[in-house]
Amino acid sequence: MGSRHHARERALQILFQYDIHGKPGLWLDVFWKENEATDEVRAFAERLVSGVLEQKHELDAVIGKYATNWKISRMPIVDRNILRAGAYELLWMDDVPAKVTVNEAIELAKSFGDDDASKFVNGILDQILNKELTLAAKRAEAGAVKREA
């Protein structure tokens, strides 16, 4: 597995702990001592975690839009954090190919979630990819047209 895959695993573990313990404190230092990582892995994991935490409310709103009959607070902690990280990569990280993001999220769901988690994650991220990114592109295009006019 590549370094970004390991970074995503570490990010998921940190986000899981954040959901349980709240603000990072001593537990985050202990996590990195117990889960050694290369500088590259740690940097990508921390970038992903900080982005998810900064955009958490917006991410939850987007995920909630496509998670039919599911409140974000009622989702298993693992699933919601895989979705948050995946949605963050899709919507804010231009340097990561969308297909890679979705496939990595599915693999994380298979490894850490229950039997149906990968289908659930795939369905929601696929909708975000196809609907939200299309809307974002249309908004950007409309914005460019308005500026030119």
Q: Name all domains of the chain by residue range, CATH numbers in brackets.
A: 3-148 (1.10.940.10)
Q: Which backbone phi and psi does 97 adopt, to 5 degrees?
A: -60, 140
**For residue 121, what pLDDT is reported?**
97
Distances (CA, A) of 136 to 28, 100, 121, 127, 141: 34, 19, 21, 13, 8
Six-digit token string for 43: 């940097």
**For residue 132, what pLDDT is reported?**
80
**For residue 44, what pLDDT is reported?**
95
**For residue 139, what pLDDT is reported?**
55
**Per-chain mean pLDDT for the chain:** 87
**For residue 76, what pLDDT is reported?**
95
Q: How many CB atoms lie within 10 A of CB 37?
A: 17
Residue closest to 124 by CA, chosen among 70, 59, 63, 52: 63
**For residue 142, what pLDDT is reported?**
56
**For residue 55, what pLDDT is reported?**
94
**CA-derived radius of gyration, the chain:** 16
Tell me which residues of the chain have a pLDDT lower than 50.
144-149
**For residue 147, what pLDDT is reported?**
33
Six-digit token string for 128: 């975000």
**For residue 29, what pLDDT is reported?**
78
Please tell me the distance from the alpha carbon of residue 149 to that of residue 100, in angstroms, as a whole number.
37
Are 53 and 16 a contacting pair, CB within 8 Å?
no
**For residue 45, what pLDDT is reported?**
93
